[in-house]
Every structure is written in structure tokens, then in C-alpha cells.
């Protein structure tokens, strides 16, 4: 089984917030941001597995700080862990005000992608080797997050979610 470093999937994407991207308050629309995040995450997933990927799910997403018109959206995406055919991608988003030279955290999220073979069937992906402390922490938590999203999607029985059960009983 091929193993790749988490850092090999690292992707940075920048977008300028223009009038057509905003709501009536002059802030970036959430749907547009999710679209850009989806693209950044798909690129990171593709770098890891070198195959076409499909978005399988997006975990809960809350918008901490609005990103203003004229500011830049800075998105960073990196794989946390690969399972059999699926990959969890972690995204961090900042707004950047180049005029006043400061940046601010907007939100973070986890997207799950599935690699597909030429017949559009899920195909196996390389394992992930985390290196930094943050990559190791995200790698460890990925199993619990996977079980939670599969239970919520009705694809796993709560009784089978051992990591999740341990998390709630230990904390």
C-alpha cells in the first residue's frame, strides 16, 4: 500500500471578493465560500490520490467572521487521513485586508472525498503519513469524525462507532 505525506496534498487558494460574490451587506456569500472551499479541497484530495475525486460530504460549517468586499479569501487545504477509498480534507479560511494589512480567521471545515476509477466506482487511495504535531492530532481525530459523519448519514450503526463511544465515555 502506497503511503504519502500529508504535506504533499497542501493546497493554497486565493480569491478576491468582488460585488457578484457578496450579499446585500457587502459580505462574501456563504455559498460562494463553500464552492471555493470545495475546489481547494478537491485539489488537495487529487494531489493525494492522483485520481478524479467526488465530494461525499461536508461537515458542519459555521461562519465566524464575515469576509468583506474587496478583501482576499485565503484558503488552505490538506489531507488529514485516508481510509479505504475516502479521504478527509481539513480546510482553514482567512480574510485578508491588504489595504489595512491584517488578516482574520473566517472558518474551518472538514470535507470528505471519494476517489473514483474510470468506471466511476470508488477506488483505493494511498495511506497518509502525518509528520507535524498538528498533522498527527488531526490524523488521530479523523477516525472519530468519520464515525460521527457516517452515523449521521445513516451509513453506520451507532453501536458500531467504537471511537465515538469511547470519546463520549472518556470525556
Ligand X SMILES: CC(C)(COP(=O)(O)OP(=O)(O)OC[C@H]1O[C@@H](n2cnc3c(N)ncnc32)[C@H](O)[C@@H]1OP(=O)(O)O)[C@@H](O)C(=O)NCCC(=O)NCCS
* Grid cell 498538528 in the structure block, residue: 134
Binding site for ligand X (CB under 6 A): 54-57, 83-86, 112, 114, 122, 149-150, 153, 155
Minimal distance, residue 82 CB to ligand X, in Å: 7
- In terms of CB distance, is 17 or 125 closer to ligand X? 125
Minimal distance, residue 153 CB to ligand X, in Å: 4
- In terms of CB distance, is 72 or 124 closer to ligand X? 124
Nine-digit cell at 24? 446585500
- In terms of CB distance, is 55 or 72 closer to ligand X? 55
- In terms of CB distance, is 63 or 83 closer to ligand X? 83
Minimal distance, residue 37 CB to ligand X, in Å: 13
Q: What is the DSSP string of 100-152?
A: TTEEEEEEEEEEEEEEB-TTS-B----EEE--SHHHHHHHHHHHHHHHHHHHH
Q: How far is CA 45 from the centre of its chain?
A: 9
**Gap between the Cα atoms of 134 and 32, Å rounded:** 28
Distances (CA, A) of 127 to 2, 6, 36, 39, 108: 6, 9, 26, 22, 23
Minimal distance, residue 79 CB to ligand X, in Å: 13
Amino acid at each position: 500500500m502506497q503511503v504519502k505525506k500529508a504535506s504533499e496534498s497542501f493546497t493554497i487558494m486565493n480569491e478576491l471578493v468582488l460585488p457578484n460574490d457578496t450579499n446585500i451587506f457587502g459580505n462574501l456569500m456563504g455559498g460562494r465560500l463553500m464552492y471555493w472551499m470545495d475546489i481547494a479541497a478537491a485539489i488537495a484530495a487529487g494531489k493525494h490520490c492522483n485520481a478524479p475525486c467526488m465530494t461525499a460530504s461536508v461537515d458542519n460549517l459555521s461562519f465566524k467572521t464575515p469576509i468583506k468586499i474587496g478583501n482576499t479569501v485565503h484558503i488552505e487545504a490538506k489531507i488529514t487521513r485516508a481510509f479505504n477509498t475516502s479521504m478527509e480534507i481539513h480546510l482553514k479560511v482567512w480574510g485578508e485586508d491588504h489595504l489595512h494589512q491584517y488578516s482574520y480567521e473566517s472558518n474551518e471545515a472538514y470535507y470528505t472525498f471519494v476517489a473514483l476509477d474510470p468506471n466511476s466506482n470508488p477506488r483505493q487511495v494511498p495511506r497518509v503519513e502525518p509528520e507535524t504535531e498538528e498533522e498527527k492530532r488531526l490524523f488521530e481525530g479523523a477516525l472519530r469524525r468519520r464515525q460521527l459523519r457516517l452515523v449521521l448519514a445513516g451509513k453506520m450503526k451507532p453501536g458500531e462507532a467504537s471511537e465515538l463511544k469511547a470519546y463520549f465515555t472518556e470525556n
